[in-house]
Amino acid sequence: MLGNVSKWLRILGYETLFLKIPSDEALLRLSQENDRILLTSDEELFKKAKSRGIATIFINPNLSLKDKLIKVFKESNLQPQLNNTRCTVCGGELSKVEINELKEFLFASDFWVCKRCGKLYWKGSHWKNIMKMYDELCKELNT
Ligand SMILES: [Zn+2]
């Protein structure tokens, strides 16, 4: 349910694990042991996490993507950032690479590759959407 939120948090600079673990217990332990903030749309899981003192944010599944992200940033006291974008597939760090052969082909000049899974990134047409979301979030969060 929160796959999209997870993807956007990676774009906006945060290492995110998106897990489809059916066991609440495993998720709770993982959050606790790794000091992670547990994002969930599952009210039961949210209550369990709270009662154990685990940092958790409940995300109403009916909110728009933008409102979900605003909720996460507000409650975690984090800011969206575009200088630390993570791989949307695996959450790995990106490193800049020079690929002259692709410049003409992809109409782009800057490329990044995921250090973990090898996925290639460039600022294509999707970058406009990312900038738009980033601007809107910053506006909302700083007012
Ligand atoms: Zn990756």
Question: How far does the centroid of ligand 1 lie from the alpha carbon of residue 8, in Å?
Answer: 14
Domain spans, the chain = 3-141
Whole-model pTM: value is 0.87
pLDDT digit string, tens, across residues 15-69: 888 888 779 999 999 999 998 999 999 999 999 999 999 999 999 999 999 999 9
- From the list 86, 82, 138, 143, the residue with the least C-alpha distance to 115 is 86
Q: How far is the CA of 6 from the centre of ligand 1 (A)?
A: 13
d(CA 80, CA 82): 7
Q: What is the spatial distance between Cα 11 and Cα 17, in angstroms, rounded to a whole number? A: 13
Which of 71, 78, 77 is CA-nearest to residue 57? 71
C-alpha–C-alpha distance, residues 81 and 122, integer Å: 17
**How far, in Å, from the CA of 122 to the mean position of ligand 1?**
14
